[in-house]
Amino acid sequence: MTIIADYGHIFLIMACLFGFFMAWGIGANDVANAMGTSVGSGALTIKQAILIACIFEFAGAYLAGGEVTGTIRKGIIDPALLADDPQLLVYGMLSALMAAGIWLLIASLKGWPVSTTHSIVGAIVGFAVVGISVDAVSWGKVSTIVASWVVSPLLAGSIAYVLFSSVRYFILDTANPFERAKRYVPIYMFAVGFIISMVTLLKGLKHIGLDLDLGLGSSFANALPISAGAGVVVAIFGALLLTRIKEEPGYVTYNRFGNVERVFAVLMIFTACAMAFAHGSNDVANAVGPLAAVASTVQSGGEVMAKSSLPWWILVLGGSGIVVGLATYGFRVIATVGKKITELTPSRGFAAELAAATTVVIASATGLPISTTHTLVGAILGVGLARGIAALNLGVIGQIFMSWIITLPAGAILAIIFFKIFEFSFG
């Protein structure tokens, strides 16, 4: 307790700096791969993607980022074990933020899309094993994280494969693809509105305590009619927008599907905005969760709580860090996801983004362990496979898979090093 009393203000300042650094890493890596499909397909320029992400990522993080967050990320360790030594929690969370932030910096420099959740969880496992005991770690939870390496890309890739195959069947491989696109794209727009609404209701707005009880039982069942209504609105609005797109002969001479891709580009802009909001509301917790743990422990004088209130300034700090990370260094991961895995067009990018969002909704309903990054990369692989194995850059894919495997141990090793440094420095 005396260590918390003596160095509390220093711990708080360090937590803010490290939390901002971690949020920067999320922006440079996680947000970048969320925007990669839109940029790689040509639906948005890099500047437009950064502008959209700045607005909607920050809005999602601040408006739906959470009133309450678990201080011990994902139930990896039991807070009761730290009740007599609260300084160990502070050392551990500071170590986790620094370790995950550094790993995300390294991955972003290399252009590797890695999971921010796995980075922070790996870091927490590392400090828990060294700082508390091996038995303090919930290894069952860690095993579900490892399982998500397989579950996430397989599920999203399968959905993306089916989606893009349907686009080819109903639109691209027909005599008049432009007219077919204008007829069928509103149906896809309904799917986008429905899925993004489900993501927001199940993964975003629940954090601000919004009760959507329509008397239908579970939160998933209550979200269905609202999301269906949102899908209809989006489809109607999209159909009106599509009436303004006219077939231009010049696009046909350059590319038979040039006019069709212009139709899908309209859809991609909406998808990018909505996914940025959903991502901001969901993944900001990776940066602000450990920060909130340190803040609550310091402000309570050393009391370790399983949950703590989340002050508005922490969400602002997290949202700001995400925006700065994307704007300053997101271009490398955007290039990997958008251009190096497989060639993307707006129709292919749409299939990948909708598949990734659909996977998030399925996981919310069934409790499947998933990673946003692995989900999106898997969806892009599914789109590529729909065109044949030759459409994939297997060398880049191999590097990405290797970076996924390294993430957990890298975060753990770095966290152990920083934990020992803090323990030595503050006693």
pLDDT digits (tens, 9 = 90+) for 105-122: 998 888 888 888 888 888
Is the confidence at residue 396, as pLDDT, over 90?
A: no
As a whole number of angstroms, the distance between CA 209 and CA 97 comes to: 27
> What is the value of pTM for the model shown?
0.80
- Taking alpha carbons only, the member of 333, 356, 354 closest to residue 32 is 333
Give φ, ψ of 371 to 5 degrees. Answer: -125, 130
Residue 372 has pLDDT above 60, yes or no: yes
SS3 137: strand
Mean pLDDT of the chain: 79
Beta-bridged to residue 392, according to DSSP, are 342
Separation of alpha carbons 19 and 61, rounded Å? 14
Q: Give the integer Cα–Cα distance in Å for 302 and 79.
A: 12
Among the listed ranges 3-17, 81-95, 301-315, which one has the minimum average pLDDT value?
A: 301-315
pLDDT surpassing 70 at residue 157: yes
pLDDT band at 207, cuts 50/70/90?
low
pLDDT at 293 over 60: yes
Q: Which is more confident, 208 or 372?
A: 372
What token pair was written down for 285?
């917790």
The residues spanned by each domain of the chain are 2-426
What is the DSSP pairing of strand 307-309 with strand 68-70? antiparallel
